[in-house]
Amino acid sequence: MGSDERMSEKITLIATAAMGLESLVAREVKQLGYEPETENGKVTFEAPIAAIPRANLWLRVADRVKLKMGEFKAETFDELFEQTKALPWELYIPEEGKFPVSGKSVKSTLFSVPDCQAIVKKAIVERLKLKHGVASRLPENGAQHKVEVAILKDVVTLTIDTSGAGLHKRGYRVGQGEAPIKETMAAALVMLTNWKPEAPLIDPFCGSGTIPIEAAMIGQNIAPGFNREFDSENWKWIRRKHWEQAFNEAEELANYDQTLDIHGFDIDHKMIEVASANAIEAGFGDLIGWKQMQVKDLTLQGENGYILGNPPYGERLGDQEKVAEIYKDLGQVMSNYPSWSTYILTAYDEFEKAYGKEATKKRKLFNGFIETNYYQYFGSEQN
């Protein structure tokens, strides 16, 4: 295929997402101008090649962006081999390309993941040797193209990962606490509110500062992938100008002049130091306020603000009472500020009882592998 032909080529991309966040990723894909199709754990969309840089730069909530190579039914290793080999791998993986193969299989006849990986690898090797005219071994010393074979109910989906490190790795985290919330989940928590950058936002359990930093990035419309690298930046078939255009677009759309009223508080002064260092790395050194503080000492300035946090869940035996006390303190503080909205993510089942009020709305989310609820209390102006 010639380069001119490829310029107009449509590809199929899959943005993967944590369970419960697919609708947010679909919304982001739509905002980029593409038409999303949502399934469990993923959002699929057709787009031009230029969408690879744009999606990697802009998707705040997606875990990865994958290039879909093909999908077919396979119940035998022969079927898997032949149908994998029939796909045009040479258009995307060059002669020297490195292509490790990972895999997963759920409710399928071909259940041995190592065997499936080996067969897919062998099929791609044979195809590439034939198409690139290589008689001996492929060198695999070039740019990385991570291939995944995913089998669900005998349907095989083959993809190449365009992202490299997961999209939650924004590049600003220089330190973290024991159980940091992923940047993608933190962004999702902000996006699931009606917060606007003009309104105050406080995280009373800020830990390493992820929620306030993600809120600041959203508030100033800064592309979350702006300060990192992606595997597909090194792919020869994606023109350098696509990346340059995507980075230029991100620079032009950033609103660095937007004033922000964002604060992070934590009981641990060491975490405040870590959060401050992360904020400096993210470019928000002077824009986010940090302070060591207990929840019960919280005093709020202004109207119609937002409390947004991922507090301790009390998962260890003996922590439950302590955690219930923190939630009770928060509920008592917030009862004095009826115009403020409160959004809390926790796995603690008795949260509403401890807080002293039933949530206006709650949403089930998975924080890593932990099933949690996102409790939402709308301020008087939101009702």
Q: Is the pLDDT of residue 7 over 70?
A: no
Q: Phi and psi for 43 in degrees, rounded to 5? A: -125, 120
Q: How far apart are the first and last CA of the chain?
A: 56
What is the per-residue pLDDT for 8? 54
Pick the CATH number of 3-161 from 4.10.80.40, 3.40.47.10, 3.30.2130.30, 3.30.530.20: 3.30.2130.30
Query: CATH assignment of 183-220+256-377, given 1.10.490.10, 3.40.50.1100, 3.40.50.150, 3.30.930.10?
Result: 3.40.50.150
CB 160 within 8 A of CB 69: yes
Rounded Cα gap, residues 103 and 162, in angstroms: 16
Using a 10 angstrom Cβ sphere, with 0-12 exposed, 13-18 middle and 19 or more buried, the burial of residue 364 is exposed
For the residues 245-262, what does the mean pLDDT come to?
Answer: 97
State the average pLDDT over residues 23-34.
98
Least confident range from 37-51, 174-188, 282-296, 342-356: namely 174-188
CA angle 324/173/246 to nearest 5° reads: 120
Label residue 318 by pLDDT band (50, 70, 90).
Answer: low
pLDDT at 3: 41
pLDDT at 381: 74
Torsion sign (Cα): 128, 56, 67, 122: positive
Nearest of 106, 209, 193 to residue 377 by alpha carbon: 193
How confident is the model over 22-31, as a mean pLDDT? 98
- Which pTM value belongs to this model? 0.94
- Residue 2 confidence (pLDDT): 43
**CATH topology agreement for domains 3-161 and 183-220+256-377:** no
pLDDT digit string, tens, across residues 77-124: 999 999 999 999 999 999 999 999 999 999 999 999 999 999 999 999
Mean per-residue pLDDT for 203-209?
97
Residue 4: the pLDDT is 40
Domain chopping of the chain, boundaries = 3-161, 183-220+256-377
Bridge partners, residue 142, by sequence: none
**Highest mean pLDDT out of 6-10, 67-71, 317-321:** 67-71
Judge contact between 145 and 100, C-beta under 8 A. Answer: no
